Amino acid sequence: ARFSALHAFGARGFSVWDAEDVSLVWDSGDDAERMISMYHPDIFNSYYKDSHLDKDIQKNFDKTSCKKGPETEAVAMGSIGGETVLFVANERSSTIMLYTLPDTDIISPVFQSIYWSGRKDGTWREAYDTHSVGDVDPEDLRFVAPKDSPNG
């Protein structure tokens, strides 16, 4: 395998490092913020706090830009249909990004899609009461291979 470990430190993006000499191979730069703003602009750099239960979900828009941004915190890698995939979780926006890793000598993840399951309307309390808050603050990810998954 080309990878011995994956690490995420909670920031605005993620990097790919060479395991042998610890040199930087690729960095996502502002990819997380650009993709969240493009596909889910209503929750761009937003966050949930207990003190905001009765506030409009969209009122938290852009609250973490000057602090932590999307706070990329977790990564998981696996293989689906012979293709290497990388899942990247962003804590503050509760999003998960999917990248593919081309089978080349130089590793350059290619963005594929972004997942967010929450609702955008109403207050956080309404979202909790209707069980439509979605996934909140992913801290860790685990890849389950299709052969080990109950639904393939």
Run of H or E including 16: strand 15-17
Q: Is residue 97 very low, low, confident or very high in pLDDT (cuts 50, 70, 90)?
A: very high
Taking only the tens place, the pLDDT of each residue in 19-64 is: 889 888 888 988 988 898 898 877 776 666 666 666 666 666 666 6
User: Structure pTM?
Assistant: 0.75
pLDDT at 104: 67
For the chain, what is the mean pLDDT?
78
Mean pLDDT of all residues in 81-99: 88
Mean pLDDT of all residues in 112-119: 84
Q: Is residue 11 very low, low, confident or very high in pLDDT (cuts 50, 70, 90)?
A: low
pLDDT at 13: 82
CB 16 within 8 A of CB 5: no
